[in-house]
Amino acid sequence: MKVRLVDAPPSQPRTFEDPGELADKLTPDDVEIVREIFNTPLTGSYNWDYESANSKIRRLYELGKRFNWNAELDVDWDVHFDKTEGPSEEGYNPLHDHPVYKAMTDEQKKEYAWRSLAQVLSQFLHGEQGAMMVASQLVSCAPTYDAKLYAASQTFDEARHVEVFNKYLRTRCNVEYPVNPSLKLLLDKILTDPRWDLKFIGMQVLIEGLALAAFQTMSQTTRDPLLRQILHLVMRDEGRHVAFGVNYLEDWIKAMPQEDIEERAQFAYEACAIMRERLFSTVVDEEFGFDREEARRMSIDSAGGQAFRNFLFERMIPNLKRVGLLTESVKPKFEALGVLQYEDAATDAEIDWAALERPLETGPIVDVAAE
């Protein structure tokens, strides 16, 4: 095993051989661990009162134990999918009418489609690693017994998500792309900030809300039943995580001094601005000859881009309002983003227990496809 320390994440995509062939060739000397170090002045706390004080959080914790799926046993990795068909319908590609795309051969269009999917799923993978690390920090710094228990269970949830997206990228897409710089910036801020409540805001409300919007968009557009099953399982977990964050933060945030609330409200706004505009990556588009800014703008303005933003802010804005972070000082900024119309939508504080308690659909893929 080789270990390489780096100052920044890799900048080039990684390609993978057929997993079956690779298993016969790989030795321990072929494995390279690429590490980027970060430091955080994390302030942890013991909690010596082991009484459960929040029935909602304890119930979410119990659901996490009950629906603890196994990425190896409960996902149908053997389901066949003809990769020549493309991962989604061509019409979902925001650049399908562009002259550069029309000039591609059928083989190039297929390669472009799978690499575009890999680029998005790679961000899911990197974001889930960030979520796993933040959840592990919350075990130490969360102030109550219930929150520590839930954060511990969420850490394992996020580990499964890293595992399942990594395996899909290696076995279906055969390529992994580097982390989006804007996503990396947001994860760095959350991981290195010493305040436990900002970690809750950044991960449980913002990053998990982003993940749910992205997963929901992709689950409606993918043609691959394996990916649809994976997203279905992951979304069940993420729904609990967002509900946990909103319910737990509501009382804590409102008890803070107004100056501290405004600081966190500004952080939430800045994160939303990044998520609205700067998480649309053009790495694959540039590889295939598109102009970077033109491709980015077309992706943002496309029907898929609009659907993603609707899913994202229809959930996120009312959640921010519920926890007290949609203050009068930041409302005009959200209005300028064009997302304030969602402020009175339903929040994740109003937990749909019936949905969260439905049995998991695992095993043969036909069950999920039929649903």
pLDDT confidence bin for 246, thresholds 50/70/90: very high
Q: Give the pLDDT band (50/70/90) at residue 25.
A: low
What are residue 88's phi and psi, to 5 degrees?
Answer: -150, 170
Task: Choose the weakest-confidence range: 9-18, 124-133, 201-210, 333-342.
Answer: 9-18
Burial class (CB in 10 A: 0-12, 13-18, 19+), 370: exposed
Alpha-carbon dihedral of residues 273, 274, 277, 280, nearest 10 degrees? -160
What is the pLDDT at residue 72?
94
At 57-72, the pLDDT tens digits run: 999 999 999 999 999 9
- pLDDT at residue 61, as a whole number: 95
- pLDDT confidence of residue 17: 75
Which of the four CATH numbers 3.30.590.20, 3.30.70.1070, 1.10.620.20, 3.40.50.9100 does domain 2-370 have?
A: 1.10.620.20
Q: First CA to last CA across the chain, in angstroms?
A: 44
What was the pLDDT predicted at 22? Answer: 52
Q: With 50 as the cut, is the pLDDT of residue 110 above it?
A: yes
Return the pLDDT at 369: 44
Higher pLDDT, 1 or 114: 114
pLDDT at 87 over 80: yes
Average pLDDT over residues 156-172: 97
pLDDT exceeds cutoff 70 at 117: yes
Mean pLDDT of 325-336: 95
pLDDT band at 301 (very low <50, low <70, confident <90, very high): confident
Q: Strand pairing partners for 15?
A: 175
Contact 138, 199 (CB under 8 A): yes
Q: Which SS3 state, helix, strand or coil, does residue 329 take?
A: coil
List the single range of 147-156, 181-190, 356-365 with lowest mean pLDDT. 356-365
**Cα–Cα dist 359/349, whole Å:** 22
Distance between CA atoms of 205 and 244, rounded to whole angstroms? 9
**The predicted structure's pLDDT at residue 368:** 45
pLDDT value for 20: 53
User: How confident is the model over 273-296, as pLDDT tens digits?
Assistant: 888 777 778 899 999 999 989 998
Q: Tell whether the model's pLDDT for residue 363 goes beyond 90.
A: no
Mean pLDDT of 292-303: 87
User: In a 3-state reduction of DSSP, which class is residue 86?
Assistant: coil
How much is the pLDDT for 24?
Answer: 52
Q: What is the mean pLDDT of the chain?
A: 89
pLDDT of residue 26: 58
> pLDDT grade, residue 366 (50/70/90)?
low
Q: Is the confidence at residue 19, as pLDDT, over 70?
A: no
- 329 backbone dihedrals φ, ψ, rounded to 5°: -75, -30
Average pLDDT for residues 42-65, to the nearest whole number? 91
pTM recorded for the entire structure: 0.92
Rank 85-89, 165-169, 254-258 by mean pLDDT and report only the highest.
165-169
% pLDDT > 70, the chain: 94
Task: Write down the residue that tokens 């550069």 correspond to.
Answer: 100
Predicted confidence at residue 30, as pLDDT, reads 64
Going by their DSSP bridges, the two strands 2-6 and 14-15 should be labelled as unpaired
pLDDT at 196 over 90: yes
pLDDT at 370 over 50: no
